[in-house]
Amino acid sequence: MIGISGTTVITGIFGHPVSHTLSPAMHNAAFDALGLNWRYLPFHVTPERLGEAVAGIRALGLRGVNVTVPHKEAVMPFLDRIDDEAGRIGAVNTIVNDDGVLTGYNTDGLGFVQSLKELGVTVGGRRIIMLGAGGAARSVAFALLASGAASIHIINRTVSRASSLADELNRTKQAVTAAGEAGSLSGFDIMVNTTSLGLHAEDALPVDPAHIHNKLVVCDLIYNPAETPLLAAARKHGAKTVNGLGMLLWQGAVAFRLWTGAEPPVDAMRRALEAGLAARR
């Protein structure tokens, strides 16, 4: 690690809470791998101080920050520009500071698509079934459509939320339907769990696993545990499985590129994430 000096460039993450984040380990490993005199710090920002914190990016000359729960939507009015994709999604997870001009981006959805791509799973022309209709679902669904998905069927406990997300997505491409429960999975190529079901051992499965078939790619945005009960069931049915670690990695890689302009050292970043997770177990 290069020692902090008068020319160290500072980046970081705003969250509430922020103590659980693996992003500092991932980004600092990336700076070290490229020999950059940059650091990434956690900033615990409470909702009522978010505006002041954003003003602090300009005042202190931070190069940029990631933004996590619960600030991804609330931060938008404090920024100077919003990238088109972040505007469509209605949430920002990355801010870039160009000489005091702050631009908001959303790299979450692209991160998810990149995590599939690196495993050889293409999205173009694929029929998607998505479980959940919250914030994570929004960013993933917009990115899937932008990457040429043929259709998306959204399943959510609160059907009205699934329907309103489908209505919004249909303005981009008329290919999205919504329902309260999943029926047969035979007409789908990729299933994505964006709900929080699977985070805790006592959680119910987000879908009946009996319908999982071996041509389905089953993705879970959860990365801890590394294999949720849904992914375990999918593996037993012979389906290809993808957990959320790749999305965490690639949303960070895209943010890294936005800040530094350099190609992200993804192997070093992945190793840092894996080490951070192993230390928690």
Point out the residues that are catalytic: 72
Is 103 near ligand ATR (CB under 6 A)?
Answer: no
Nearest distance in Å: CB 152, ligand ATR: 14
Q: Which residue's CB is nearer to ligand ATR, number 104 or number 132?
A: 132
Shortest Cβ 73–ligand ATR spacing (Å): 10
Q: For ligand ATR, which stretch binds (CB under 6 A), given 18-26, 193-201, 209-217, 238-246?
A: 193-201
Compute the distance between CA of residue 218 and CA of residue 193 in angstroms, rounded to an integer: 8
E strand or H helix at 104: strand 101-105
Contact flag: residue 157 with ligand ATR (CB under 6 A)? yes
Residue whose CB is less far from ligand ATR, 151 or 156: 156
Binding segment for ligand ATR among 105-113, 132-140, 256-264, 272-280 (CB under 6 A)?
A: 132-140
- At closest approach, how far in Å is the CB of 234 from ligand ATR? 18
Does residue 137 bind ligand ATR (CB under 6 A)? yes
Q: Does 16 bind ligand ATR (CB under 6 A)?
A: no
Question: Shortest distance, CB of residue 102 to ligand ATR, whole angstroms?
Answer: 23
Is residue 94 within 8 A of residue 257, CB to CB? The reply is no
Residue 189 near residue 165 (C-beta atoms within 8 A): no
Check binding of 15 to ligand ATR (CB under 6 A): no
Q: Exactly one of 23, 106, 194, 260 binds ligand ATR (CB under 6 A); which one?
A: 194
94-98 and 101-105 strand pairing: antiparallel
- Listed in sequence order, the residues at least 6 apart from 101 whose beta carbon sits closer than 8 Å to its beta carbon are 80, 81
Closest CB to ligand ATR among 161 and 173?
161
Which listed range, 21-29, 135-143, 168-176, 235-243, lies at the site for ligand ATR (CB under 6 A)? 135-143
Tokens describing residue 144: 């899937």
d(CA 245, CA 25): 14
Burial class from Cβ neighbours inside 10 Å (0-12, 13-18, 19+) for residue 58 reads middle
For residue 169, state whether it binds ligand ATR (rule: CB under 6 A).
Answer: no
Binding of ligand ATR by 156 (CB under 6 A):
yes
Tell me how far apart the alpha carbons of residues 144 and 161 are, in angstroms, rounded to a whole number: 19
Residue appearing with tokens 């999982």: 212
Total of residues contacting ligand ATR (CB under 6 A): 14
> Burial level of 85, CB count in 10 A (0-12/13-18/19+)?
middle
Q: Which listed range, 19-27, 30-38, 103-111, 152-160, lies at the site for ligand ATR (CB under 6 A)? A: 152-160
The reply to whether 133 sits near ligand ATR by the rule CB under 6 A is: yes
Q: Out of 158, 167, 208, 257, point to the residue binding ligand ATR (CB under 6 A).
A: 158
- A 10 A CB-CB count for 259 gives 24
Q: How far apart are the first and last CA of the chain?
A: 26
The phi, psi pair for 84, rounded to 5°, reads -55, -50
User: Which residue from 256, 226, 183 is spatially nearest to 24, judged by alpha carbons?
Assistant: 256
CB of 133 to ligand ATR, least distance (A): 5
Task: Provide the binding-site residues for ligand ATR, judged by CB under 6 A.
Answer: 132-137, 156-158, 161, 194-197
